Structure 1
Amino acid sequence: MQGFLNLNKPFGWTSHDCVARVRKLLRLKRVGHAGTLDPAATGVLPIAFGKATRLLQYLPSSKAYNATIRLGVRTTTDDLQGEIITSAPCPGLSLAEVKSLLPQFEGKIEQIPPSYSAIQVDGKRLYDLARRGEKVEVPVRTVEVFQIEILDWREGEFPELDIAIACGGGTYIRAIARDLGAALETGGTLAALTRTESSGFYLKDSLTLTDLEAQLQAGTFCPMAPDAALQYLPSVTLPATSAQKWCQGQRIPVPDVSGIVRVYEEETRFLGIGQSQDGVLIPQMVFEPIS
């Protein structure tokens, strides 16, 4: 079995937990995921199995989330799973004040990831260093936020803002919550997070682990085709003779195509990923060799 699973990750599970569970349910060793989600986050976690794990690196990096930001609170982890650093009610805060600051979090922005994150510094994960109480300088990253849309606003001593965020890979929504709170001078932390899109997979099409188990027991589970998540890439179709040569590592002349492409034999058989430059198609990853 090989292909992709659009998994709806449950609350409290790590991405590694989900991979381990899918590996056990499918009885496969080769299982991997794209785009790690924090344990407290739910939503889309793309999972590949079999030879499709080799295609994870070619998935698009776009992401989308629905997030709830609680203002007036700061925590060690920049979400409600951490210890409270400060808690100061701000009942007078208005939605207009929040709206005026949101544009500074759109576009290409510089962001300091949370101290409790999987980023490595000198070969060590930040969350491991943080748990040991070690102080390290977290490197600034440039990320891109395409759009922030306000979904709801709830007044109170600790107002909550619901937003939808579309962004590029590597963006930390916890950092946006923290930095919005800092800009408002109230403090802020992430109260809830659901990923609604990741690498071309959408929440509305996802399966829970319970769904997966039920479909496997009923014999109705049908994995997504290995090339289904790669439709954003242009494609090249080769005749049978050229396809065989390409699968054997040879370079094939192809006009009018450049960059990373999907490669097919006579439009139906997915062969793998190639790179076209200067009119020549170079094998990058042969998924389905021709004997």
Structure 2
Amino acid sequence: MAKIKTNKIHKPLVVTGYISFGLLVASVFISTTIPFATILAQPNSIKLNVTIIMISLTVGALLPVLVGYFIGDTSVKSKSKLTHHFSGMLFGLLAYWWMTLITVFVSFPAYLVSDNNIRIMLMNFVPSIFVAIITTTLGVMHVRSKQARHDVLEYKPFVIVLAASVLAMPLSSVVNNFMTNSVNVYTFIVPSIIFAIGCVTYLTLKKCKLSKLQKVAWSSVAVSVLFLLVFVANMFETALVGYLWQPSAEVQSASTWMAFVTALVAWLIYWIKQVKSLSVSSSAKK
């Protein structure tokens, strides 16, 4: 990808990423910090248990993406701060997928870990460890490669891992359903959505002068951003509504749909701006 216009290419993802992380922090503060701080203030509360739960939940929600971001920030050799932020956001998206995968598929049953505090800590700290291993490996590989001064999205190993991570979650869920004989129509909904979004976003890049690998990379980014926005919007909506009042099932359902629609609109705005910036960059190439 030509260096010209790279700031415009990077900006949509960087802005979207920072807004998403800000909402994530706000969600954790509302749903975790405030309630558990209130419990800690009560004289009869078990301080150690409450503190461990509060710290563990906060770490579990924020640390994986922070680890990914900071490792990504240092994985590129560039004088541009925006390029470093962009790389951090890409690694943050990768961290999101692995955080989700590890949280869903790695468990610590009571018969293996009997202490509740230790089990809670493991459940929330282990995803960050996996994320650190994966992102550090990719980051070191990139920064030591001949492409260290180029965007991470031009680095084939990163693109392959990101695309595989996008596919891993829904496909592993399908495999699990087959193994447990619980296959139904809902088994294929999420994989179908990911496949459809991937195809549509790939086609929207038709006018951009990008290689097939770069189109796959940007399609993977688009899918990742959509799922991240839905995740953050739902988390923020649940935290805010639950904090302000005790909603009925109808109100909760309506607010959940509103969060989804908001996330979808935000994603459309992001992707339109992203495609436009890529098109402008392509037309500026000599």
Q: Which has the higher contact order (CA 8 A, sep 6+)?
A: 2
State the TM-score, normalizing by the size of structure 2. Answer: 0.27
Larger Rg belongs to: 1
Structure ranking higher in helix proportion: 2
Structure ranking higher in strand proportion: 1
